[in-house]
Chains A and B, each alone.
Chain A
């Protein structure tokens, strides 16, 4: 039978039972739409994570002391006291591929300004921190190395802190806040950064000179971590190697011995985050695929019913010369039409749903050509796969048995 006639016959028999055809199609429509929407959400979140992480600066390195294992018991990372300010100074002097480096200590504190108070993180760092993290001062100035030398009680704060202690848009520069009862003078306010990839508010932080936090607030002699930037992104491996060499030497570790610190780069973190969201995408898409599978089973079910119902028609067609393959093709094309049309509608619906999700929930969504192509191919494959068995069943009928069927 010619393709044109086959298509005509298939369309006719599908339109004979419009409601049934639509309901069968609905399974595929919902399946494809959910796959498209899930992939869009997954892809969208992955892209936004990537873009946010790259705004942090792609050439940033973090150096943590390795969780010390004392007597076989691993301690929590950061509890090690092996990293000192001298380590930081040595690194600053001896690593040509490192542009900036700052020691870092962190604590949390109760912030009080007149009658308002707020709890936040307090970071103790060198002024180079602003260059490394690419933080811009909106009003006022950052503190200086002199402030660090004198352990001055000054700080730079984020917008969230200004809002909560002084009110939205208030001018906080020059005002004094008490952090754990110690008065700090605000020298500058950081430009708003919003949430980071992990949902943390990046404007909810106090940045103070390193020695101020280390000595006055924490009263410790070691440093918790270091933050550095390589001169360029290409120099990250070189910077990593230099830092490793210097730190191992200072900690009297041979080149073959395990380091007692970890260096993490921004791209490590980005990769980890991307991998997580990839897994999430795959998970979402697999769940959605199950509904596509159920849709396919729906097609098979209806096609089986249809073959039984139309046994006589098959008999008539065979009696005038239809061969097994003609009948097979006819039913296969019907199944394929259902799944293809369902797939197309599903793609449209999926794009619509993604857009609605993007607007209502303000989630980032990205629809890729690949996901559309994949859904399209997948749904036609489902049509052929689940249409095959009923079609073959029809094709194998004997003409006389089919004609006799009541």
Chain B
């Protein structure tokens, strides 16, 4: 059912595999946290390539370095050593401001805890990344944000505040925010970690739809069934990639959602 990544390089989304098309290319990535005298080796030399159109699940036990890896991919943190090429550009040598601009233009990040601004409407939350882009007019900001909310099925809730939305809806707003800037990759660290089964399926359904449109997505999950909705699973262990396998028969969230009995308790 699962094939070893090393066995066969599958061209993602049927595209060619030229290196300069690689969205994410990391080599010998090392991250060491120093807490006083104690050194924590969160990443001990990670090599990975992620190609356009891929949908990757990063798996592994708690503490295996998944979040550390994602934060570096998302330019929220910098590696101790190693190189990271994002969309062909070397990230390891960039300044704080340049990293911020990179996050603003090329990356969409989804957190386990949603991380929406409180007392700020769904629409304004989605607009946030565009506010830090001078080239975008207020009108375009609004149009694009509404479109992003539409893509996650929340167009009708655009004026709602986060505390008026369920957990699943909040996460959908967060996904809309992550895709509003047309990123080269959407990174999601345990996006379904705080959600129940049905809502998790809804979130995976959205990710699958976005991936079908060609958007590259990397998610972290420790649940095997969630990973089954992706196309490739990378497993971390002690700060290293232990294995990378293609998913043989990708599950379809929409179909599974349809089979689920309707349950009113799902909305938190």
Contacts and interface: CB of A to CB of B under 8 A. Distances in A.
A316 interface: yes
B254 interface: no
Contacts of A325: 97
Give me the 3 closest cross-chain CB pairs, A-B, nearest first.
A321-B104, A320-B129, A321-B132
Nearest to A317: B128
Interface stretch (B1-9, B43-51, B70-78, B238-246): B70-78
Interface string B169-211: 0000000010001000000000000000000000000000000
A364 to B, nearest CB: 50
A220 interface: no
B218 to A, nearest CB: 16
Interface in A221-243: none
Interface residues on B, range: 20 to 34
Interface in B81-101: 96-97, 100-101
Interface string A308-323: 0000110111111111
A2 B134 contact: yes
A312 B118 CA distance: 11
Contact of A320 (B77, B97, B128): B128
Given A319-B76, A323-B101, A403 B115 contact: yes
A319 B119 contact: no
B129 A321 contact: yes
A403 B111 contact: yes
A321 B117 contact: no
A312 B115 contact: yes
Contact of B131 (A1, A315, A403): A1
Given A319-B109, A320-B129, A323-B96, 9 more contacts: A2-B138, A12-B119, A319-B103, A319-B111, A319-B115, A321-B100, A321-B101, A400-B71, A403-B76
Contacts of A2: 131, 134, 138
Interface in A1-60: 1-2, 4-5, 12, 16
Contacts of B128: 316-317, 320
Nearest to A402: B76
Contact of A400 (B77, B100, B133, B181): B77
B133 A16 contact: no
A65 interface: no
A124 B76 CA distance: 93
Contacts of A399: 76-77, 100, 103
Contact of A318 (B100, B111, B131): B100
A324 interface: yes
B105 interface: yes
Interface string B114-132: 0111011000000011011
A326 interface: yes
Nearest to B114: A316
Contacts of B134: 2
B34 to A, nearest CB: 14
B104 to A, nearest CB: 2
Contacts of A315: 115
B141 to A, nearest CB: 9
A398 to B, nearest CB: 8
A323 B119 contact: no
18 contacts: A2-B138, A12-B120, A312-B115, A315-B115, A316-B128, A318-B103, A319-B74, A319-B76, A320-B109, A320-B128, A320-B177, A321-B105, A321-B129, A321-B132, A321-B181, A323-B101, A323-B132, A324-B97
A5 B117 contact: no
A1 B127 CA distance: 12
A320 B96 contact: no
A386 to B, nearest CB: 25
A398 B116 CA distance: 18
A326 B132 CA distance: 8
Nearest to B178: A320
Given A316-B115, A317-B128, A320-B177, A400 B76 contact: yes
A326 B77 CA distance: 19
Contact of A313 (B96, B97, B109, B117): B117
A287 to B, nearest CB: 41
B255 to A, nearest CB: 33
A16 B161 CA distance: 14
Given A2-B131, A2-B134, A324 B101 contact: no
Given A316-B117, A400-B76, A403-B111, A324 B96 contact: yes
Contacts of A4: 138
A326 B74 CA distance: 19
Contacts of B129: 320-321
A1 to B, nearest CB: 5
A321 B115 contact: no
Nearest to B115: A316
Contacts of A320: 103-104, 109, 128-129, 132, 177, 181
Nearest to B102: A321
Contacts of A324: 96-97, 100
A16 B77 contact: no
Given A323-B96, A324-B97, A1 B74 contact: no
Interface in A359-406: 398-400, 403
B129 to A, nearest CB: 4
Contacts of A321: 100-101, 103-105, 129, 132-133, 181
Contacts of A398: 77
A362 B115 CA distance: 61
A16 B111 CA distance: 25
Nearest to B75: A399
A13 to B, nearest CB: 9
B76 A322 contact: no
